[in-house]
Structure 1
Amino acid sequence: MNDTGIDGAAPDVLVVGGGIIGLAVAWRAVRDGRSVAVVDPSPGSGASHAAAGMLAPVSEVTYTDEPLLQLGLESLRRWPAFAAELTEATGIDLDYRADGTLAVAFNPDDMAALDELGAFMRSLGLEVTRLTGRECRRLEPMLAPAVSGGMLAEHDAWVDPRRVTRALATVVERLGVPVHRERVTGFLFTGSGDDPKACRGVRLAGGDGLPAGQVVLAAGAWSGFVDGLPPGVLPPVRPVKGQIMRLRAERPLLGHCVRGMVYGSPAYLVPRRDGELVLGATQEEMGFDERVTAGGLWELLRDARELVPGITELELVDVVARPRPGTPDNLPMIGPSAVDGLVLATGHHRNGILLAPLTADTALAEDRSVVAACSPARFAKHGPDQGDGRDDVSTTR
């Protein structure tokens, strides 16, 4: 298929998806000397728009996700340079901060669980500090009086994802990367539709073909629902709904990210330098449902108020819900697919902001050993877990 309907030479790389992952991959590809184009009908409006921006592989460690922890630590090491280069290129302050995460407990059972997790962290070589309730409130005076202790992960960081996405969009535009604000409705393959040999571009909703040397599928939760990919190539990505809330104070209420278990669910508060405070986040298997619900708002406010009672006096400025791209094993998919010319950079779930620098550095690299656990080959010939939403979405977004 050569009928493109679009003037100009085919780019070396065509990125499908204009969120933080897609734009970061595009930026890195341009810096590596490749010609690049991006396709997304509404860049930056997906999961990146609804993320809190925690860069917290240490405080979010679990007993079963050690491969994800190693990926997070490696990407966290790359974040300072990534942020500095992006700010230098655009002049946009990303509100990147590396002041740590304070995880708090309310009772002896909570503290015992934190102590056990802290021992596990130390066994992995991670630095965490146990604190009494008084020491926690010395760090964060706005904490609830019921906080009985906590654990400080000093090397965790955070950033404002909306500023990052805006900066990435700015830098790729300044570098001459065209952004096609259209939906992708198919792919241009050599070979038969059931047995494609190579991917050489995409088909746009308007009917035009857009050829490219390589296609990077970075469409977030929509990656598993794009038309035109055979079952053995379609990534097993499902949407996981997350609702998040933003409040505003006249000055910052907290100096650290604060998190804790409330009524059996994890809650967190992420401060910004301008006084904004992000509360998050729900996790709901609701397909592509982007409704903000009363129950979701109540849950966010209820849990955050248990940690920091003073939030009820703050201005409510924003509530948003978006689907995040989940995979069966909670690891992203980074690297070549089963079809030549089609690269995957998707399935990051709640870790897209954290893993953006690492994904950008490795998606198109020859040496991907650092992300070997993320090889799409682990899902070869397995169809996607479509879950809810298959009838709602038939193209990437």
Structure 2
Amino acid sequence: MESTDAPGTTRNPGDVADVIVIGAGVIGLGIAWTAARSGRRVVVVDPAPGTGASFAAAGMLAAVSEYHYQEEALLGLMLDSARRWPEFAAAAGPDCGYLATPTLCLAADAADRQAFADLRAAQEAHGLAVQPLTVREARKAEPLLAPGIAGAFTIEADHQVDPRRLVAALLGRLGDDALVPARAASLAWDGGRVAGVVLEDGQELRAAETVVANGLGARDLGGLPVALPLRPVYGDILRLRVPEALRPLVTATVRGLVRGRPVYVVPREDGTVVIGATQREDGSGAVSAGGVYELLRDAQALVPAVAELELTETTARARPGTPDNAPLLGRVGNVPGLIVATGFFRHGVLLTPAAAEVCRQLLEGRTDPQWDSFRPDRFASQPARIPAVSAAERGGS
């Protein structure tokens, strides 16, 4: 006999949960927590929660300042998610590291000022709120800015969250029983539907719905009905401690252009700042010495006192990119029991509440056509297939 534990969820007697989420970064945990809040029993599978791209991320919730040309389709999802963040953060709890501080955008020279002017015109054309500032006004708000900056504007709607604190908060909300600290080897199939996940040791966990949300790891998951075209985009990011005499270094998130190169400085409540981030696709996951040098040099061009901070951490992680740099989000064809949520590239933290809401609706059997452009099978030349899962893929001998 089958039993229904939550709207839209039918669990079989052998199921360990209503929903299995593969991946415990901010995306996977956000989806799991939202599903749990809707009354579903959720299990999250990950051998090392929060140690991938989420560990390195600065956590800028920057739907406006992250707007790029030719990403109009993605802008709607970004704005939708930004609107959801206050409620999502409140549900995650006061320890999630959410701060509604504004973003201050700075141009280092005249050419950078013109580039920002062009970007601001495009932002305003889409109805995005951007407030120009004089250099005097910017330096009054942030006294440690360089006196020679060439231009400034502020964005009140772009906020921040600390992804490491967010991961810890969501894990705490879900509880120890929800985490399976193991690596997923393959999807488990039952006839024509995905029925759960097979772990590396061969153990099979079954659920009515399975969400693939393990970033770059998704492309290597066995049993997928379509290939997921993910590529690693590496980035260096720095963490520095601000001496007491210099606190606060800045109160707003500072995003700048320095001779055409983007750089940001994100202040944390604990007296540290995050500086980032480089972007490369050279296949190396190691921290780049040149990248560290460039970040410190460009950050100092905007905030000279960065030179007096203590460098406490250098990190490099790969973000999952797709051919069009938009996420793979939704169901795969007509395959029941499977949802994919990966490929969020540089927008993973920002898009967490929206991705979680899209997945919640899918679990309830509802779809929103406005997000169809992100379906995970949009690059497939052939229809989704039901794969024959080998013993090797299942982790067996």
Q: Could you say which TM-score interval applies, normalised by the shorter chain? A: 0.7 to 0.9
Contact 1:345 1:359 in 2 (8 A): yes
Q: Displacement, 1:283? A: 1.0
User: Residue 18 of structure 1: which of 24, 27, 50 is its match?
Assistant: 24
Q: Residue by residue, what CA displacement relative to the aligned partner does 1:357-381 show, whole Å, maximum 9, x if unpaired?
A: 1111111411334533322242233
Match of 1:56 in 2: 62
Aligned amino acid, residue 26 of structure 1: A
CA distance in 1 between counterparts of 2:131 and 2:323 reads 33
Q: Decide which moves more: 16-25 or 263-272.
A: 263-272
Contact 1:222 1:395 in 2 (8 A): no
Identity %, equivalent residues? 47
RMSD of the TM alignment (CA)?
2.1
CA distance in 1 between counterparts of 2:259 and 2:219 reads 33
C-alpha change, 1:382 and 1:160, in structure 2 (3 Å) is farther
CA distance in 1 between counterparts of 2:108 and 2:171 reads 42
Contact 2:15 2:205 in 1 (8 A): no
Equivalent runs, 1:108-119 vs 2, <5 Å: 108-119=110-121
Match of 1:381 in 2: 381
Match of 2:386 in 1: none
Q: Displacement, 1:107? A: 2.4
Aligned amino acid, residue 271 of structure 2: G
CA distance in 1 between counterparts of 2:381 and 2:30 reads 28
SS at match of 1:376: coil
Match of 1:255 in 2: 251
CA distance in 2 between counterparts of 1:167 and 1:382 reads 41
Contact 1:132 1:148 in 2 (8 A): no
User: Residue 279 of structure 1: which of 275, 278, 282 is its match?
Assistant: 275
Q: Displacement, 1:108? A: 2.3
Contact 1:54 1:158 in 2 (8 A): yes
Contact 1:10 1:213 in 2 (8 A): no
In structure 1, list runs of 5 or more residues that go unmatched: 1-6, 192-196, 384-393
Contact 2:34 2:360 in 1 (8 A): no
Aligned amino acid, residue 25 of structure 1: I
Match of 2:368 in 1: 368
Q: Residue by residue, what CA displacement relative to the aligned partner does 1:309-343 show, whole Å, maximum 9, x if unpaired?
A: 11111111211111111111111111111332111
Match of 2:4 in 1: none
User: Residue 230 of structure 2: which of 224, 233, 237 is its match?
Assistant: 237
Match of 2:90 in 1: 84
User: Residue 327 of structure 2: which of 314, 324, 332 is its match?
Assistant: 332
Contact 2:327 2:374 in 1 (8 A): yes
CA distance in 2 between counterparts of 1:382 and 1:327 reads 18
- Is 1:139 matched with 2:132? no
TM-score (norm 2): 0.87
TM-score (norm 1): 0.87
- Is 1:357 matched with 2:353? yes
Match of 1:304 in 2: 299
CA distance in 1 between counterparts of 2:381 and 2:221 reads 17
Q: Decide which moves more: 29-38 or 106-115.
A: 106-115
Match of 1:387 in 2: none
Equivalent runs, 1:64-213 vs 2, <5 Å: 64-87=70-93, 92-173=94-175, 176-177=177-178, 179-191=179-191, 197-213=192-208
Contact 1:327 1:349 in 2 (8 A): yes
SS at match of 2:95: coil
Q: Residue by residue, what CA displacement relative to the aligned partner does 1:235-281 show, whole Å, maximum 9, x if unpaired?
A: 11111111111011133210111111223321111111221100001
- Is 1:228 matched with 2:234? no
Aligned amino acid, residue 347 of structure 1: G
